[in-house]
Chains A and B, each alone.
Chain A
Amino acid sequence: MNKNIDTKKVIISNHLKLDCGKEIYNFPIAYETYGKLNNEKSNAILVFHALTGDQYVSGKNPVTNKDGWWSYVVGENKPIDTNKFFVICANVIGGCMGSYGPSTVNETSGKQIGTDFPIITINDMVNAQHELIKYLEIEKLFAVVGGSMGGMQVLQFVANFPNKAELAIPIACTSSHSAQNIAFNELGRQAIMADSKWENGFYSNYKLNPDKGLAIARMAAHITYLSEKGLQEKFGRKLQDRDSLRYGFEADFQIESYLRYQGSVFVDRFDANSYLYITRAMDYFDLSKQYEGNLSDAFRISKTKFFVISFTSDWLYPTSENREIVMALNSIGADVGFVEIESDKGHDSFLLDVPSFLKTLGDYINSTYKVINERRV
């Protein structure tokens, strides 16, 4: 949202043909790195962010002044230890944290691109980030890792660049967006587009912001990230700063107040058009369709090792959908590990302090890194 952040950026001059048919070039990719690339360039991990994430995986996010979105996973002495690994994360194209997106200002007109921005896909996002990896001159990544939409990018990355990563870890994701996923995304988009300040996507020309619509989109989506049990345990029917019902439409319940808060802080950091574009990219994601209905074909020629993780209470990208990825990989004899982690924190589990998840992920990454290094020697 904030165009004045001092973020690392690279301008990609290569032409990138998008799935929609349009071509882009000379476009910016904003990224952040953590840790040091070793001499052999064998310790790089590319992390893909989810729908509302950004390049600030760890440390302090300079825009929100909060911890990076994956601070439990990435950092010094964390499961992905930046003392050991060189971690790269880029803002996806379509995003609003410095990469080419609808809030990018067109140099000739001086205005934001708005809905003149082309429709992008997960495939396009991944291809753009591959340009970044080329720019960083990394021949082979040790790992590609991501949860939710980040997991979809992991799958697409291996499909597009079969031998560019030793290890792929898609977490809490799917190989194809379900009707339910599309339905929730459509609800969010309609909320934004129904806001009179949206102005067909050109709100910045009028110095407006469809913040009401975006906040509602966020509130609805936020529910899908939690579990029924988690919500009930955390909020139940507890009242917000009051002893009895007020017989009105204020936020009587804590859950209402919580969602309103989540919506209000979100609009300060996220662009409404980006929300439209990125949810659209997720909805269009259907990896098996790209391979004539055979998901296995997406990975057939790859030697990449896979580790798929799902969570018991995640109903947005349930275990059954993660298992489909595992089955497609097993059916071609790929090297794939899989575990469903016990957690009542819903889809958000991958972002939160879930000790068995963090331990298994960290141990797996470290022991695999050790094995691969030993093989190299």
Chain B
Amino acid sequence: MKEEFKIISDLIEKNTKVLDVGCGNGDLMKFLQENKTEDIRGLEISKEKVQNCLSKGLTVVEGNAESDLKQFPESSFDYVILSQTLQAFLNPELVINELLKVGKKVIITIPNFGYWRVRLHLLFKGTMPVTENLPHEWYNTPNLHMCTIKDFYNFCNTKNIKIFKSIALKKSRISEINKSNLNYKNLDSHLGIFLIES
């Protein structure tokens, strides 16, 4: 978690305006507030988590990214962050488009379904992968659209979405993803972090 926060924070310029979509209990928001910018908002679907954020004094609105991003004007944030939530949406493509509208830049992190541990799990155990990063069983997982680093990389290319920076994370090891190492990073990383722009 902390590594991901650090990487995201490094992608953000100081004193900019940030929206954290699916901000959970506000841990990332707090981290960014202390390190980067005061001007940070959150959107979260769970009432309980929204209340936890508000209790900490964070500016969070209860809402669903799939229907409630529309209320923010175009390019009203310098950065919009979607941390490990993309896979939980009914329509991830629609959400990505909304994020790109609202934010001048978008940071998306995805739990990598192409990670070798995940692949081995399915290959040898023959059951849906349950890992540290993806702790749910197939019957109770909120994750509807799992994807791999390669999937997302290809998606951006097909949809003409500019990738400014793509970073792979394995445990605490950080490395850049590029065209030539894509297959390897897709196998060897548990998390992909992308800084994109429409």
Stretch binding the partner chain, chosen from A47-55, A140-148, A285-293, A359-367: A359-367
Given contact pairs A327-B71, A330-B71, A307 touches B54 in the complex (Cβ within 8 A): yes
Given contact pairs A305-B59, A326-B61, A333 touches B51 in the complex (Cβ within 8 A): no
Given contact pairs A339-B47, A341-B47, A342-B47, A333 touches B57 in the complex (Cβ within 8 A): no
Q: How far is the CA of A117 from the CA of B82 in the complex (A)?
A: 56
Given contact pairs A305-B59, A339-B62, A342-B47, A330 touches B72 in the complex (Cβ within 8 A): yes
Whether B6 is near chain A, meaning CB under 8 Å from some CB there, is: no
Whether A65 is near chain B, meaning CB under 8 Å from some CB there, is: no
Whether B135 is near chain A, meaning CB under 8 Å from some CB there, is: no
Decide if B51 touches A356 in the complex (CB within 8 Å): yes
* Chain A hits for B53, CB < 8 A: 337
Interface size on B, residues (CB 8 A): 20
Decide if A331 touches B71 in the complex (CB within 8 Å): yes
Decide if A330 touches B61 in the complex (CB within 8 Å): yes
Whether A368 is near chain B, meaning CB under 8 Å from some CB there, is: yes
Given contact pairs A330-B61, A338-B61, A340-B47, A367 touches B76 in the complex (Cβ within 8 A): no
User: Chain B CB within 10 Å — which of A332, A336, A341, A360 has the most?
Assistant: A360
Instruction: For the complex formed, measure the closest distance between the CB of A315 and the CB atoms of chain B, giving whole angstroms.
Output: 18
Instruction: For the complex formed, measure the closest distance between the CB of A121 and the CB atoms of chain B, giving whole angstroms.
Output: 28
User: Chain A CB within 10 Å — which of B17, B55, B62, B76 has the most?
Assistant: B62
Q: Mark A22-33, 1 if CB is under 8 A from B, else 0.
A: 000000000000
Q: How far is the CA of A370 from the CA of B58 in the complex (A)?
A: 12
Given contact pairs A327-B71, A337-B60, A367 touches B51 in the complex (Cβ within 8 A): no
Could you list 17 A-B pairs, sorted by A, with CB under 8 Å?
Answer: A327-B71, A331-B71, A332-B73, A333-B17, A333-B73, A336-B61, A337-B54, A339-B47, A339-B51, A339-B54, A339-B60, A340-B47, A359-B55, A360-B55, A363-B56, A367-B56, A367-B57
The 6 closest A-B pairs by CB, nearest first: A367-B57, A363-B55, A327-B71, A338-B61, A330-B71, A360-B51
B binding-site residues for A, Cβ under 8 Å: 17, 41, 47, 50-51, 53-63, 71-73, 76
